Amino acid sequence: MRIKDLILLLAILYSYSAYTQNMVEYTSGWEGKIENSKTFNLKIEIENLGLEKARFKIFNRTNIIDYPFNIKSASLIEIPFSENYSFKGILSKSGKEINGFIKSGILLYHLKLIKSDNNTFVGIWNILMVDELKSLNFLEVSS
C-alpha cells in the first residue's frame, strides 16, 4: 500500500511540475512599441486664475482631477492637488503664460501653460516623458 501511495504522490508531483507555466515570462524584462507618443499626454488647465472660483484640471478624454484652489500671490502659484502631487509655477510678467513643475514624489515634470482667450491657461503633461520628436518610441519594464 505504501508503494502505491508513493508512486501516486510522485506521479502527481511530476504532472504538476510538467504543466506549470514558465516563470521566465514574468521575471524577465518586457519591451513594447509606442506607436503614438501622445498616448501618455494629459491636458492641464488652470481656469479663472486670481478669482474665487479658480480650478486646476487634469484630464484626457475624461476628467481626472478638478481641484478648486486659492492663491496667495499673484505671480507665484502653488497648488497641492493630492497627497503626493503638487503644481508650482510662476506667472510671466506679461500674464500670458505660466512656467512651472508638477511634483510627483521625487520627480519634477516641467510644464508651460499658455493663456487662451477665455482666461484659461492650457498645457500638456507627458506623464512618461516620452520624446515626441522620435518617430518610434519604446517602453521597457524590467523587474
Residue-range domain boundaries for the chain: 34-126
pLDDT at 89: 93
> Cα–Cα distance between 75 and 103 in angstroms, integer?
19
In this prediction the pTM is 0.66
Return all residues near 74 (Cβ < 8 A) that are at least 6 apart.
50, 91
Neighbouring C-alpha atoms within 13 Å toward the C-beta of 111:
33
The pLDDT tens digits of the residues spanning 106-128 come to: 888 999 999 998 889 999 988 87
On the question of pLDDT at 132 being above 80, the answer is no
